[in-house]
Amino acid sequence: MNLTLKVWRQKNASDKGDFKTYKISGISADMSFLEMLDVLNEDLSDKGEDPVHFDHDCREGICGMCSLYINGQPHGPNQTTTCQLHMRSFKDGDTITIEPWRARAFPIVKDLVVDRSAFDRIIQSGGYVSVNTGGVPDANEIPIPKVIADEAFDSATCIACGACVAACKNASAMLFVSAKISQLALLPQGKVEKRGRAEKMVAQMDAEGFGACTNTGACSAECPKEIKQSNIARMNREYFTASVSTEKV
Amino acid sequence: MKLNSKIPSGPLAEKWTNHKFNIKLVNPANKRKYEIIVVGTGLAGASAAASLAELGYNVKAFCFQDSPRRAHSIAAQGGINAAKNYQNDGDSVFRLFYDTIKGGDYRSREGNVYRLAQVSVNIIDQCVAQGVPFAREYGGLLANRSFGGAQVSRTFYARGQTGQQLLLGAYSALSRQVANGKVKLYPRTEMMDVVVVDGKARGIVTRNLITGAIESHSAHAVLLCTGGYGNVFFLSTNAMGSNVTAAWRAHKKGAFFSNPCYTQIHPTCIPVSGDHQSKLTLMSESLRNDGRVWVPKTIEIAEKLRKREIAPRDIKEEDRDYYLETKYPSFGNLVPRDVASRNAKHVCDEGRGVNETGEAVFLDFRDAILRDGEDAVRGKYGNLFDMYQQITGENPYKTPMKIYPAVHYTMGGLWVDYNLMTTVPGLYALGEANFSDHGANRLGASALMQGLADGYFVAPYTVGDYLAGLSYEKVPEEHPEFRKAEDEVKARVKQLLEINGSKTVDHFHKKLGKIMWNHCGMARNAAGLTKAKEMIRALKEEFWSDVKVLGTGEELNLSLEKAHRVADFLELGELMVEDALHRNESCGGHFRDEYQTPEGEALRDDENFAYVAAWEYLGDGKDEALHKEELVFENVKLTQRSYK
Ligand SMILES: Cc1cc2nc3c(=O)[nH]c(=O)nc-3n(C[C@H](O)[C@H](O)[C@H](O)COP(=O)(O)OP(=O)(O)OC[C@H]3O[C@@H](n4cnc5c(N)ncnc54)[C@H](O)[C@@H]3O)c2cc1C
Ligand code: FES
């Protein structure tokens, strides 16, 4: 198929950036979206133009490295990651607009590459169980009901791609933060520190400049891992119980 | 140089305990005076960095992704082994040890493998304590499954995302140490060289991938946890960025490289669909528990399939060849990976492949769906089936999956002793980057186990032993050796940018991949390997005179990053071929056409080849020197591997 691509080009963080239009042909339906961009980049390189920079690594929908705002939707039309999106989702002659994630807390590095280290700092603020290596009990010492373990898993499956932030008109990170808080609050191992954890992670989230949550649900609607909105409700519960209890951090 | 593996003496079961007692300790108050560099934040790196920091050492952790959580380990699907015997099905430390040695076709060290089996049980405890949501039974206890060539259920899993959950556990421990100020993170930073001063590893030189800045980092010890080199084949199941650069740079600074030709070709991957393909996708091996592998009995039927004149479901039962079940009645579809892959290649070479390219076999769930119902199958494999449909556009509930082997894992790597130290004192290699535990073939669910064993439970002891004999003084980053290494890296960047040739980096990478796959892949022979060596040399020359790398060195520049990696792959490729050529036997993932049993199975030569090949770099353009570490088997009897 033949396509027209409108791609955001920006040399570096301080450059203003704008859209450039490229024509591309010979794209097959079996190609992934990123393979289509590979073809574009080979073309550009042949012409001596700087290739379009974008983040990617596993190309299997699990590392969370790929991003891209495609035709106004994070990761494009299907509820998958961009690397799992295939060109059979597009038609010959389509025009595709490709932008980076746009959020104050995710500054643009170059072209379509953004800096998501704010997510790492949020996890560093409390997204863990405080255990050292060694000296832990036998794995089967604490039975965990299967439904609880499964629910925790559903939250733990977040890949930190940032689509939730990109989808939200306020660029809120609530879905990401609440998924980690829920996973750990559900499991007995994580319960011990759950209150302090919620407070610390929310404080860090605010400090990073993410926006407020107004419950539009755009985040979970776009999440490639189908992280549920109920995580946000659970997080709010944890957070408010923490702030009214004496267990301040 | 005589290789000393430093395996402790004494009975197998007591080696590690005795060793831990005998090694030197660093006083808790003095640990903060030492600085340790950990390159890589996959399972091996993240677990090592976190554990060392918890002990009190100062750690610097590096990765090329934008976050440590995105290391390639995240993509592991199937599970992690541990000799817990929770299922009461006869598993034990000794059985896991035995299976691993046998599975590796008797080309690994007894001492290392036994220790791996011993600490496997601690790994599961550690991960559960961190909040890793492993699969559980209704009674609330942990669930297990059997996996890739094992007859006991010892594999722990978290749906099809085990690597993700284990890595997020290790990443959370690492993040906690970042918050404690004990680990400093350097994401989007690529290690370009190791710095050796007075014979000891004293630091690294890195390139900041955003600014292009070349920087020096001094330390008391350097741990390379940089993963495997499967991407030398261009197409593999590895992440796009996986590379050999760190290990290769270390090799050129004196670390021996072992068994480079041992490559694992995974039997269940989605077949190649066209020239545009950038990577291959693994379909978890767990699918072989319920899927049946087959091809048509005759070439004629296969041809009709390829021309789409008939559909797979039209083929009658008596016209189907369930070749694994027939050939290996006791293991059936669950034979180890090398055996399954080779047989797939064999039936396709006969002309019985089932897709347009002729390079695919069926993995069929029809009978499992009839037996257990579609819902049960969806419950077990739903996410994998979805992924398959996403990529191929075909519905595996209705029509059999098509699979073909693909490069997946590299058993070879930097030579290390029992302490995981390379031949350069102070330089360690952990995880897939070393060669240590899997011999010539790795069993399913054992790489995650090894990465975490090395990082959580081995290196924290053995690195301490080394540091205890070292002064607190750090080599200043202004030292001439650091300056020299920096200058070399800068010169290389400049050289790559100045060639300004006519072909892209990917062009060379694809060409190299084809050479490796055709001549050093699932089956090799002397004539092909000799030819491959010439071809790689010529390609390397062409690369250095005709590659086109655009942009500058002072910015985010993906083609420059790739050019560095491909340049190293070109050198590694030649060594792999050399290694495959010298090993005149077949074992595990290394299958030489000339050495097979009458039934077509791998024919080992224990008399002449029961050793680890360790290659020493002698300078550009020179042949590498071969060193041999003899393998001594005191606890298992070497037999012809049989899965009949
Ligand atoms: C698709 C797939 C599925 C798998 N499934 C399983 C499974 O079910 N069970 C199992 O046991 N094994 C499985 N494996 C194998 C297993 O995942 C890997 O062997 C293992 O995760 C490797 O871990 P590691 O820590 O050694 O390296 P990696 O996870 O590869 O990490 C390498 C790290 O090194 C860094 N790095 C590399 N080079 C440099 C450099 N020059 N400078 C700076 N940083 C660098 C990277 O950024 C990264 O952080 C699977 C592999 C694949 C490909
Ligand atoms: S590249 Fe890893 S999720 Fe898309």
The pLDDT tens digits of the residues spanning A63-111 come to: 999 999 999 999 999 999 999 999 999 999 999 999 999 999 999 999 9
Q: For residues B357 and B277, is the Cβ–Cβ distance under 8 A?
A: no
Q: What is the pLDDT of residue B190?
A: 98
Q: Is A62 on the interface with B (CB under 8 A)?
A: yes
Domain limit, last residue, from A79, A110, A141: A110
CA B349 to chain centre: 27
Shared domain for A104 and A165, answered yes or no, is no
CB atoms within 10 A of CB A18: 8
Burial of B330 (0-12, 13-18, 19+ CB in 10 A): exposed
Which of chain A's residues have a Cβ under 8 Å away from the Cβ of B460?
133
CATH number at residue A131: 1.10.1060.10
Q: Is A127 on the interface with B (CB under 8 A)?
A: yes
Q: Which residue has the tokens 């405890």?
A: B125
Give pTM, 2 decimals: 0.97
Q: How far apart are the first and last CA of chain A?
A: 58
Enter the tokens of residue B296.
């048509």
Check A146 against B175: CB less than 8 A apart.
no
Which of chain A's residues have a Cβ under 8 Å away from the Cβ of B559?
45, 51
Q: Is A60 on the interface with B (CB under 8 A)?
A: yes
Radius of gyration of chain B measured on its C-alpha atoms: 24
Tell me whether the CATH fold assigned to B265-407 matches the one assigned to B480-624: no
Show the beta-strand stretches assigned E in B350-509: 361-364, 401-410, 413-414, 427-429
Which ligand is the nearest neighbour of the Cα of A65? 2
Strand partners, B63: none
What CA–CA distances, in Å, run from B545 to B50, B422, B541? Answer: 43, 34, 6
Strand partners, B611: B630
Identify the three-state secondary structure at position B242. coil
Judge whether residue B355 has pLDDT over 50. yes
Q: For residues B61 and B219, is the Cβ–Cβ distance under 8 A?
A: no
Which ligand is the nearest neighbour of the Cα of B157? 1
Nearest to A189 among B131, B168, B240 (CB): B131
Query: CA B103 to CA B139: how far, in whole Å?
Result: 33
Radius of gyration of chain A measured on its C-alpha atoms: 20
Dihedral sign, CA of B496, B501, B505, B509?
Answer: negative
Nearest to A48 among B84, B460, B550 (CB): B550
Nearest to B131 among A12, A137, A184 (CB): A184
Closest atom of ligand 1 to CA, residue B433: 26
The pLDDT tens digits of the residues spanning A161-202 come to: 999 999 999 999 999 999 999 999 999 999 999 989 999 999
Going by CATH, does the domain composed of B480-624 fall within 1.20.58.100? yes
pLDDT band for position B1 (50/70/90)?
confident
Class (C level, CATH) for B265-407: alpha beta
Q: Give me the amino acid identity at B288.
A: R
Q: What is the pLDDT of residue A9?
A: 98
Domain ranges within chain B, ordered by starting residue: 265-407, 480-624
Nearest to A152 among B47, B133, B210 (CB): B133
Of all helices (H) and strands (E), which one includes residue B303?
Answer: helix B299-306
Regarding the beta carbon of A81 and ligand 2, being less than 6 Å apart is answered: yes
Long-range contacts of A91-96 (CB under 8 A, 24+ apart): A91/A1, A92/A1, A92/A2, A92/A3, A93/A1, A93/A2, A93/A3, A94/A1, A94/A3, A94/A4, A95/A3, A95/A4, A95/A5, A95/A6, A96/A3, A96/A4, A96/A5, A96/A6, A96/A70, A96/A71
Shared domain for A106 and A139, answered yes or no, is no
Query: CA B395 to CA B393: how far, in whole Å?
Result: 7
Number of folded domains in chain A? 2
CATH number at residue A97: 3.10.20.30
The pLDDT tens digits of the residues spanning A99-151 come to: 999 999 999 999 999 999 999 999 999 999 999 999 999 999 999 999 999 99
Shared domain for A121 and A65, answered yes or no, is no
Judge whether residue B376 has pLDDT over 70. yes
A236, part of any domain: yes
Enter the tokens of residue B32.
């903060």
A223, part of any domain: yes
Q: For residues B230 and B240, is the Cβ–Cβ distance under 8 A?
A: no
Strand partners, B156: B80
The pLDDT tens digits of the residues spanning B104-140 come to: 999 999 999 999 999 999 999 999 999 999 999 999 9
Residue B10: CA count within 13 A, CB half-sphere: 11
Lowest mean pLDDT among B264-278, B469-483, B552-566: B264-278
A249, part of any domain: no
Of all helices (H) and strands (E), which one includes residue B60?
Answer: strand B58-62
Report the residue of chain A nearest B75, measured CA to CA.
Answer: A62
Q: What is the pLDDT of residue B38?
A: 98
Active site residues of B: 337
Identify the three-state secondary structure at position B559. helix
Check A59 against B276: CB less than 8 A apart.
no
Q: Is B409 on the interface with A (CB under 8 A)?
A: no
CB atoms within 10 A of CB B270: 21
Distance from CA of A26 to the nearest CA of B (A): 10
Residues 531-550 of B with CB under 8 A from A: 548, 550
Instruction: Give the single-character DSSP code of A81.
Output: -
Judge whether residue A249 has pLDDT over 70. no
Q: Is A38 on the interface with B (CB under 8 A)?
A: yes
Check A62 against B74: CB less than 8 A apart.
yes
Domain limit, last residue, from A76, A110, A144: A110
Check B391 against A86: CB less than 8 A apart.
yes
Q: What ipTM was assigned to the predicted interfaces of this complex?
A: 0.97
Regarding the beta carbon of B286 and ligand 1, being less than 6 Å apart is answered: no
Q: Is B1 on the interface with A (CB under 8 A)?
A: no
Regarding the beta carbon of A83 and ligand 2, being less than 6 Å apart is answered: yes
The pLDDT tens digits of the residues spanning B515-548 come to: 999 999 999 999 999 999 999 999 999 999 999 9
The pLDDT tens digits of the residues spanning B463-509 come to: 999 999 999 999 999 999 999 999 999 999 999 999 999 999 999 99
Q: How many Cβ pairs within 8 Å bridge chains A and B?
A: 212
Of all helices (H) and strands (E), which one includes residue B207?
Answer: strand B200-208
Which of chain A's residues have a Cβ under 8 Å away from the Cβ of B236?
none
A124, part of any domain: yes
Query: What is chain A's mean pLDDT, rounded?
Result: 95
Check B128 against A189: CB less than 8 A apart.
yes
The packing angle between helices B43-55 and B459-467, to 10°, is: 50
Domain limit, last residue, from A58, A85, A110: A110
Look at residues A101, A97, A119, A121 and name the one whose alpha carbon lies nearest to residue A109: A101
Query: CA A21 to CA B390: how far, in whole Å?
Result: 28
Closest atom of ligand 2 to CA, residue A161: 3
Range of the domain at A49: 3-110
Shared domain for A130 and A234, answered yes or no, is yes
Regarding the beta carbon of A62 and ligand 2, being less than 6 Å apart is answered: yes
